[in-house]
């Protein structure tokens, strides 16, 4: 090539719509082996085309993090993928990892038509991994297979590696009497939780355990003067139109707040929705919600919105709701929004005890609520429609685009009405779950 004759050559820069998590040496870690492998393959292909294989390929992201440092311009720091990269977590060089992946694809193409997943997978790779969530559009099919196989990765804390170790001992199903935390080498709180989930689903007896829940009992057993059940719907900054490129665009914000009360088994609900996906609209919505909390506080003889207990359900160790509210406060420094009294029903009660329900293998709100509903302990259930918060987020982006085109408020969108119904059910099932614990456990 002419460039090579003049001492120049091409190099690969693979652009990813994600934040790069860089190591001290500027490389990518074990969680990004797939990204590294892709860049490595591109580099090898480029080498064949130009007659020279560069010593490294590069990856650019929307933003980057490296230790305490971070940036939001894609060209500030690139991840380097050396042609001789070694992946310490796998004790293997990247070239060997790619070679094995290619061999797997070739094997799948030549032999896969003869493979069977039921009644027992004919090859180890067909065992579904319920801890791998990048499975669209096959998640439902995968979950159905996992249920039929009683696959071990249905259980909390059990990943593909722990499953492989269990398979080596001859245990392939969670309902095998030998399945326990000891089998997986778990101890402490994780062991206690796993054994409780296995026991309630495998053995006879009560559908909700324990019979008496004591975790943080002094806080939740008796309803406070003012208590609300809250759910936020968020959008992240992924709806980027690239007008600010190379700087990361998009806007994270709260676009809907559901807030319900449950007294004497009577449900009352208020919902607050933005007019558009803008920071100003978010501010107006949160103002309205806080004013509503102030009304609830006054009616209960309390001083302010800060005195209302806000019950939520957050799978993250640091509450998504507390973090989202604090982020919103930072986006609106001109407003004097008060600190709020958050109460995580999942973390402080269900996980802390743990409270387990027959039919639920995780502590997601849908898993717990649907199992309780199946046993007749709560009345509310989700209708067909949105699957989760990610579906609500995508729906909000779609509704916002349609509303802009029609010149109307986002609140008037049919999609937003569907999201609103989903949001209310999230709030109401939390209320019914806590009410059931107060009455029966």
Each residue's pLDDT tens digit, 262-284: 998 899 999 999 999 989 999 99
- State pLDDT tens for residues 90-110: 899 999 999 999 999 999 999
Write down the domain spans for the chain: 13-103, 132-203, 217-440
Q: What is the mean pLDDT of residues 146-160?
A: 97
H, E, C per residue of 354-370: CCEECCCCCCCHHHHHH
First to last CA, the chain: 76
pLDDT, residue 284, reads 94
Cis peptide bond upstream of 354, omega within 30: yes
Q: Which of 5-19, 58-72, 207-221 has the lowest mean pLDDT?
A: 5-19
Q: Which position has the higher pLDDT, 318 or 102?
A: 102
What's the whole-model pTM score?
Answer: 0.88
> Does the structure show a pLDDT above 70 at 384?
no
CATH architecture of 217-440: 2-Layer Sandwich (3.30)
pLDDT, residue 410, reads 86
> Does the structure show a pLDDT above 80 at 224?
yes
Give residues with Cβ within 8 angstroms of 363, minimum separation 6.
Answer: 156, 315, 346, 350, 351, 354
CA distance 78 to 80: 6
- State pLDDT tens for residues 334-383: 889 999 999 999 999 999 999 999 999 999 999 999 999 999 999 998 87
Give residues with Cβ within 8 angstroms of 322, minimum separation 6.
Answer: 314, 342
Q: What is the mean pLDDT of residues 295-314?
A: 96
pLDDT, residue 388, reads 65
> Does the structure show a pLDDT above 90 at 316?
no
> Does the structure show a pLDDT above 90 at 302?
yes
pLDDT, residue 4, reads 62
CA distance 112 to 243: 45
Q: Which position has the higher pLDDT, 3 or 177?
A: 177
CA distance 99 to 105: 10
pLDDT, residue 239, reads 84
pLDDT, residue 296, reads 97
At residue 393, what are phi and psi to the nearest 5 degrees? -65, -50
At residue 403, what are phi and psi to the nearest 5 degrees? -65, -40
pLDDT, residue 404, reads 83
pLDDT, residue 344, reads 95
pLDDT, residue 5, reads 66
CA distance 78 to 60: 5
Give the CA distances from residue 179 to residues 144, 148, 165, 244, 257, in Å, rounded to whole numbers and listed in that order. 21, 17, 12, 53, 42
| Parallel, antiparallel or unpaired: strands 227-235 and 208-209 | unpaired
pLDDT, residue 163, reads 98
């Amino acid at each position: 090539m002419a460039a090579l004759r003049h001492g120049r050559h091409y190099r690969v820069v693979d652009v990813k719509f994600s934040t790069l998590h860089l190591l001290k040496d500027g490389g990518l870690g074990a969680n990004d082996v797939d990204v590294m492998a892709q860049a490595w393959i591109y580099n090898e292909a480029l080498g064949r085309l130009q007659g020279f294989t560069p010593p490294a390929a590069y990856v650019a992201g929307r933003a980057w993090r490296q230790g305490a440092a971070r940036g939001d311009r894609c060209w500030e720091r690139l991840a380097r993928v050396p042609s001789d990269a070694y992946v310490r977590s796998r004790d293997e060089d990247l070239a060997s990892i790619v070679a094995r992946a290619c061999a797997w694809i070739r094997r799948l193409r030549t032999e896969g038509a003869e493979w069977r997943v039921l009644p027992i997978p004919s090859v180890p790779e067909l065992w579904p991994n319920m801890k791998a969530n990048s499975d669209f559009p096959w998640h439902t099919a995968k979950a159905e297979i996992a249920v039929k196989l009683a696959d071990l990765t249905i259980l909390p804390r059990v990943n593909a590696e722990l499953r492989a170790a269990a398979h080596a001992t001859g245990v392939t199903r969670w309902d095998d009497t030998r399945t326990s935390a000891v089998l997986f080498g778990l101890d402490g709180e994780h062991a206690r939780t796993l054994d409780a989930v296995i026991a309630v689903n495998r053995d006879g007896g009560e559908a909700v355990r324990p019979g008496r829940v004591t975790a943080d009992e002094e806080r939740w057993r008796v309803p406070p003067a003012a208590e609300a059940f809250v759910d936020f719907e968020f959008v992240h900054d992924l709806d980027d139109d690239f007008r600010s490129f190379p700087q990361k665009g998009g806007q994270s914000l709260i676009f809907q707040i559901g807030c319900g009360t449950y007294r004497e088994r009577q449900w009352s609900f208020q919902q607050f929705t933005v007019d558009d996906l803008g920071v100003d609209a978010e501010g107006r919505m949160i103002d309205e919600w806080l004013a509503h909390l102030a009304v609830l506080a006054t009616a209960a003889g309390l001083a302010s919105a800060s005195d209302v207990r806000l019950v939520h359900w957050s799978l993250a160790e640091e509450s998504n709701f507390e973090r989202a509210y604090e982020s919103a406060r930072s986006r609106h420094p001109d407003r004097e929004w008060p600190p709020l009294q958050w109460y995580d029903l999942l973390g402080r009660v269900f996980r802390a005890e743990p409270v387990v329900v027959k039919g639920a293998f995780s502590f997601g709100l849908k898993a717990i609520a649907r199992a309780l509903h199946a046993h007749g302990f709560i009345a509310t259930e989700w209708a067909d429609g949105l699957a989760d918060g990610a579906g609500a987020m995508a729906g909000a982006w779609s509704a916002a685009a349609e509303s802009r085109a029609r010149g109307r408020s986002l609140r008037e969108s049919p999609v937003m009405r569907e999201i609103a119904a989903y949001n209310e059910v999230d709030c109401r099932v939390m209320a019914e779950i806590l009410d059931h614990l107060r009455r029966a456990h």
